[in-house]
Structure 1
C-alpha cells in the first residue's frame, strides 16, 4: 500500500462511516479498483482507521460521553444484539464481505428505502429532541444487526431504526453516531486480535497517518451530515446509493466478461 492509496482509503472512511451510504461498500470498491483488496496491510489498515473515525464522535460529543453514566448503559444495551449476532455469524459475514454482488444489491435496495424514508417518517420532522428509552435503544440495536450485510450501512440501519421507534432525524442520527463507538471498538478489537501479529514496524506510520486523516475528515463529515439531513432529508443519499450500485454492477459485469 502506498501513501496515496492510504490517503484515499482514509478519506473515504472518514466521509462514509457516519453517512447512510455504507463505508464498507465504499472501502471494498476503492481497494478493489486499486488492486490492494487482498493485501494484508490493507485489511489491517481498514480496521485501524475506524478507530480514528470513532474518536471524532467522542471529541464532538464529549459532554455526552463524559458526564452521563446512564447513557453508557443504554449504549451497552443497544450494542448487545450486534455483539451476539456478530459472534454467532462471524464466518458467514466474512463470506458475504467477499461477494461484490451482495454489496451491489445492498446499495441499490438501501437506496430505494432512503428515497422513501422522508415520506414514511414525515411526522417526525417537527419533533423536539427526545430522551431515548431503554426499549428504544434495544430495538435500534436490533436494526443495527441488518448492517452486518455488506453494503447496507450501519448508519442507515440505525438511523432508520431510530425513526421507526419514534425518534426525530437529529436524535436518531446522533444516537447512531454514539452507538458506532462500542460497535466499532468491539469489532475492531476482535479483528485485530487475529491479525495484529501481521503488522510490521514500517506499517505503523501509515496506520497512524490513516487514523489521523480519518479522524479529521469524520469530524467535518458528521457536522455537515447533521446540517444536510435537517435541510434535505435522506433522498439524495438514496439516489447516490443507487447510482453507485448500478455503476459498480456495470464494472463488475465487464470485469467478469473480460475474464
Structure 2
C-alpha cells in the first residue's frame, strides 16, 4: 500500500514537471530519493523514464487533430502542413536520438546524481532569466512552426540533446534554444510538446529493452499506475502552461529552479557537515 502511494506521488511529480521547464527527471530523482520506494534501483531507473509515456499520451490526446495527417476534417493543404510538422519534429530529434542511443549507459552512470541535478537547475534557471531579459527589446521572428527552417530545427535539437543531463529539463532546454533564435513563447512551448513524442517513446523503448521486460506483477501494476497518474496530471499542466505564457514570461520558472538548486546544494553540504 505504501509503495502505491509513493508511485502516485511520483506520477503527480512527473505530470507537473514534464511540461513545466523545471526538469521532470531531476524532480523524480530527488523525490524518489526522499520517498525510497521498496523497489530495485534498476526498476526505479526504468520507471523514471517509462512513466513519461503517460505524460506523452496527454500531448497526443490534446493535440490529436493538429498532429493527425489523416484527419478527414483537413483539406489536402492542411494534411501536407501536418506532415511537415512531423518532418520538422524528426529533424530536431536527430541530435538527442544519436547521443541518447550511443551514450545512454554513460549518462546514467555519470550524471544521475542529486549534485548534478542541483547544478543544472541553477545554470538553466539563470539562462531563463538572462534570455527573457534580453528578449524584452528583441523582435519575435518565428510566429508558427511552419517558419522554422532546418538550421533552426537543428539548433533546437542541439539544446534538446543537452537535456539528456538530469536537472536540465528537456522542455526547458528546447524552449531556451527556441527563445534564443527569436521563436515566440507559445510556438516554443508547443513545438517542445511535439518533440517529446518521438524522444520519449524512443527513450522508454530503450529502457524497457535494457530492463528486459522482467516485471513482477507488482512492478507492472505500479508502472501502469504511474503512467495513468502522469497522464491525468499532464493534461492540466499543459493547459496551464499554454494559458500562462499568453501573458507571462518564463522567468518565474528560472527563479524556481535557482531556489530549488540552491536548497539541494545546501542540503547536501549540511549532510556532509553533520555526517
1:56 pairs with one of 58, 69, 82 = 58
C-alpha change, 1:43 and 1:91, in structure 2 (3 Å) is closer
1:180 pairs with one of 196, 201, 210 = 196
1:1-259 equivalences in 2 (<5 Å): 2-36=3-37, 39-67=41-69, 68-122=82-136, 123-124=138-139, 128-131=143-146, 132-259=148-275
Q: Deviations over 1:208-254 (max 9, x none)?
A: 11111100101110110112122221111011001111111122222
CA distance in 2, matches of 1:114, 1:189: 31
SS at the partner of 1:83? helix
CA distance in 1, matches of 2:140, 2:92: 24
| Structure 1 residue 55 displacement after superposition | 0.6
SS at the partner of 1:232? coil
| Structure 1 residue 165 displacement after superposition | 2.6
CA RMSD of superposed structures (Å):
1.9
| Structure 1 residue 198 displacement after superposition | 3.1
List runs of 5+ in structure 1 lacking aligned partners: none
CA distance in 2, matches of 1:50, 1:206: 14
Q: TM-score, normalised by structure 2?
A: 0.88
| Structure 1 residue 127 displacement after superposition | 6.6
CA distance in 2, matches of 1:41, 1:148: 19
List runs of 5+ in structure 2 lacking aligned partners: 70-81
SS at the partner of 2:246? helix
Aligned residues: 259
Q: State whether residues 124 and 168 of structure 1, in contact with CA within 8 Å, keep that contact through their aligned partners in structure 2.
A: no
Q: State whether residues 20 and 156 of structure 1, in contact with CA within 8 Å, keep that contact through their aligned partners in structure 2.
A: yes
